[in-house]
Amino acid sequence: EDKVRDFSEGRLDCLIGAAKPYGVLVRGIDLPKRIRYVIFYGVPKFEITLRDVNEMEDASIISLFSSLSRALGNEERKLAIKLRRNPSSDDIRRARQIIEDILKDEEKISSISSLTDIIIDARGRKIVIPDIRTYLQGSGRTSRLYPGGITRGASLIWDEDPILTSFIKRARAQEIDFLQLSEVDLEKLKSEIDESRRLISSLKKGYELANLLKTALFIVESPSKARTIASFFGRPSRRFLDGLMAYEVTTGDYVLTIVASGGHIVDLTTTVGYHGVLIEDGTYVPAYTSIKRCNACGHQFTDADRCPRCGSTDLRDSKSVVESLRRLSFEASRVIIGTDPDTEGEKIAWDIYQLIMDSSNEIYRAEFHEVTKRAIVEALRSLRGINDRMVKAQIVRRVEDRWIGFELSAEVQKRFGKRNLSAGRAQTPVLGWVIDRYREHQNKKVVSIIKGDGLLLRLDGKLEEVGASKIWIKELKVEEEVVKPPPPFTTDAMIGEANRILRMSANMTMQLAQFLFETGLITYHRTDSPRVSDAGFRVASLVLGDDFVPRKWGEGGAHECIRPTKPLSAKELVDYVKEGIMIVEGLSRDHIRLYDLIFRRFIASQSKDGTLVKQVASVRVGRSEFEVTRLIEARGGWIDWYPFLYTPEPRLKEGVLDVVIEHQTVPSAPLYTQSNLVALMKERGIGRPSTYATIVEKILQRGYVIERNQKLIPTKLGIEVYNFLRDRFPDLISEERTRTLERKMDSVEEGVADYQALIDELYNEIREKMGKLAAD
């Protein structure tokens, strides 16, 4: 205590002690004014011997066993899962015994050497694990949050131990970055550290506090996103307002209250105007009402006191959310709205702004494309206003969807006598594609199949020979082709590849991606841009090292590709979650599978070129001779990361082969998959990243299409509904009209077209078409 007092009062310039989890210098002192630098002489780490295991607490045994189980057998991995969920005393005793058995046997210690982030000392019978928590606590003595700012400090690690690489890798999982000392401007850093101490002195004297202390309400859409953001700034305090969870944290710039709106809080009413739009002196005014959610079945609707789907009266009205947001707005000096960075998110932000504007004098918009601490801090320091052009474009989309949907759906329901049927501007052309392809599929063609001795060749048309026969194969050449990597994922590509490789539906893929985005594992998943940001380059360079080849894949714009936010493979992510280094509640096997696909595709896009090896051979059957080009190897560069685009075949053997030749009648075209449909929507300009999955899901839900073995087949009802709409409303549901309308709505967002003029054009078009129908 005397030494700490001497240090506090300036009689000592440094303190030296042990970097232990609960050591005095790690957790026992709080002197942010005096402590500027922390030097770790050696990486903070746990060194575990047999004697340590006997004395370890149960929680430490669970954590250690989770780390080691990755290199053990299935039974041990099952025990690790049980320990993390609901451990019994017998389970913990068994885990402790397994660890002891490993440390008693040099051979067993060596067997877990495959763990690259843990150092195994077989001779000393010791396990060494990086201690991130001690580093965080110790370095935190220099850099502390206080009302109005954060004290700057510097922490240095002086070590050449192999564990340093493992330590840095684990630290990156928590967004902790390190630089070589030679990369740091020490004079600039010292100046920043000294200035932050001056501010502390001013605050303690009561100066500058009025200017520095800011309270802010931060509104996002989803509860999981709110929870993730709150976790970036320490352990938040919580309070409930009529079922709304509010997290309170200090960021250094703000005392921040974080809440979730739950998505949209208003929608067009169904009780006034033309399907919810008033027309006043030639101006179109959307009329909004609150959204109700049925607690029994989850259905959302407006303008009813009873759920139209299940009849329940147990409802939650978004009015209560608005009232809670208004109360919280009164308490804060400013409101910051951080909804998703697209037109739909901008419209939600605008709705919230309109409903709370009389409760706050300062309302701003924060835009971020990944839920990471770095991105959130940057967004909170780069506030902007609501983008009116994006809002107007979204208003046009919603109004047009409502008008077309209500009018056409009513006609379909009346014609077929079913109230659950619907029609829409985008879903109807897409249904037409499925029907057209089904008709093509029913047309047949003849192919020749050559089989024998591991050989399988398929040729269009009929060969003269059939049955048992011989073929002559002569290899003409083997050539190599250098291939560039594919770009990182956009929404359509992600949905397509997840459907093709993982057999996931479009809707499932988007739900999983939403979770990965909200928990800070990937960037925003609704995007048509393959662009890679500087942050993306950094992630790729940390994974690839010398194999990193920076490729931007696009220029400018705020949006970027779908990519991981951290340099962690799926396996590393799972391991760190198991160990408690990262906390991701609700992470499932399917989340991991999709994350792995996104990670692999992104890293591949920044890797070296790959190589394809092709064999060109001459094949003679009777009097017929033809050339065959066969992919026999795909290797190297990006292909090692993303091998799913090629399927190599065995090399053809030269000489005479005994074969069987068959003639088969097959469909002239394959049926579409969900992957094919989404690719067509992107190619033909139908739908947007936010609606691709919804459109596919809608035609399945309505029973217009069924899915068998991932192939889409139109039903009798689907064909009849489509034919009815095509015959009665060809202009309203044509693909060209839909594509043209998408371009016009984009022009509103760009500020080129007037949204009122476009709504007027739509109104007159729809009224004219429906009026002609009534007259007929």
105: pLDDT strictly greater than 80: no
Write down the mean pLDDT value for the chain: 89
pLDDT score of 339: 96
Does 524 qualify as catalytic in the annotation? yes
For the chain, list the domains and their CATH numbers.
2-44+133-204 (3.40.50.300), 45-130 (no CATH), 214-386 (3.40.50.140), 390-442+671-775 (1.10.460.10), 444-484+610-667 (2.60.510.20), 491-605 (1.10.290.10)
Measured CA to CA in angstroms, residue 53 lies from 6, 44, 214, 581, 611 at distances of 38, 19, 48, 20, 50
Ramachandran region of residue 659, left (φ > 0), alpha (ψ -120 to 50) or beta? beta
pLDDT score of 64: 81
Q: What is the pLDDT of residues 27-65, one digit of tens each?
A: 667 777 788 889 988 888 888 887 888 888 887 788 788
Mean pLDDT of 472-499: 96
Give yes or no for a contact between 79 and 91, defined as CB atoms under 8 angstroms apart.
yes
pLDDT score of 210: 47
554: pLDDT strictly greater than 50: yes
- Mean pLDDT is lowest, of 146-150, 265-269, 306-310, 358-362, for 146-150
Mean pLDDT of 325-330: 95
Share of the chain above pLDDT 90, in %: 61
Q: What is the pLDDT of residues 128-172, one digit of tens each?
A: 888 888 888 888 888 766 655 677 888 888 877 778 888 888 888
Give yes or no for a contact between 287 and 277, defined as CB atoms under 8 angstroms apart.
yes
pLDDT score of 558: 66
Q: Quote the strand ranges of 168-295, DSSP E.
A: 215-220, 237-241, 244-250, 255-260, 266-268, 277-280, 283-286, 288-290, 292-294
Nearest by Cα to 681 from 492, 509, 453, 409: 492
Q: Using CA atoms, how far apart are residues 468 and 661, in angstroms rounded to an integer?
A: 6
Q: What is the pLDDT of residues 298-316, one digit of tens each?
A: 899 999 999 998 999 999 9
pLDDT score of 615: 95
Bridge partners (DSSP) listed for residue 48 = 127
Residue for token pair 């409760």: 359
pLDDT score of 398: 95
Q: Using CA atoms, how far apart are residues 521 and 126, in angstroms rounded to an integer?
A: 34
Q: How confident is the model at residue 2 (pLDDT cuts 50, 70, 90)?
A: confident
pLDDT score of 114: 66
349: pLDDT strictly greater than 80: yes
Mode of pairing for the β-strands spanning 455-460 and 215-220: unpaired
pLDDT score of 214: 83
Nearest by Cα to 719 from 413, 443, 434: 434
Give the type of residue at 373.
K
Q: Using CA atoms, how far apart are residues 744 and 752, in angstroms rounded to an integer?
A: 9
Q: Which residues of 700-733 are buried (b: 16+ CB within 10 A; e: fewer)?
A: bebebbeeeeebbbbbeebbebbebbbebbeebb
Mean pLDDT of 254-261: 94
Task: Give 431's Cβ-side CA count (13 Å radius).
Answer: 34
Count Cβ atoms within 10 A of the Cβ of residue 131 and give its class: 0-12 exposed, 13-18 middle, 19 or more buried: buried
Mean pLDDT of 503-507: 96
Phi first, then psi, for residue 421 (nearest 5°) are -85, 155
Tokens of 177: 């970055």
Mean pLDDT of 247-266: 92
Mean pLDDT of 450-456: 85
Phi first, then psi, for residue 571 (nearest 5°) are -65, -45
Give yes or no for a contact between 488 and 602, defined as CB atoms under 8 angstroms apart.
yes
Mean pLDDT of 189-205: 75
Q: What is the pLDDT of residues 734-762, one digit of tens each?
A: 999 989 998 999 999 999 999 999 999 99
SS3 166: helix
pLDDT score of 266: 97
Q: What is the dihedral of CA 422, 426, 431, 436, to 10 degrees?
A: 150
Quickly list DSSP for 50-118.
HHHHHH--HHHHHHHHHHHHTTS-HHHHHHHHHHHHS--HHHHHHHHHHHHHHHH-HHHHHHTTT-TTS
Identified catalytic residue from 135, 353, 524, 755: 524
Here the contacts of 93-100 (C-beta below 8 Å, separation 24 or greater) are: 95/61, 95/62, 95/65, 96/53, 96/56, 96/61, 98/65, 98/72, 99/53, 99/61, 99/64, 99/65, 99/68, 100/50, 100/53, 100/54
Give the type of residue at 12.
L
Mean pLDDT of 104-123: 71
Mean pLDDT of 210-231: 87
pLDDT score of 31: 79
pLDDT score of 46: 80
Q: How confident is the model at residue 21 (pLDDT cuts 50, 70, 90)?
A: low
Q: How confident is the model at residue 728 (pLDDT cuts 50, 70, 90)?
A: very high
390: pLDDT strictly greater than 50: yes
Give yes or no for a contact between 152 and 33, defined as CB atoms under 8 angstroms apart.
no
- Mean pLDDT is lowest, of 113-122, 409-418, 574-583, 613-622, for 113-122
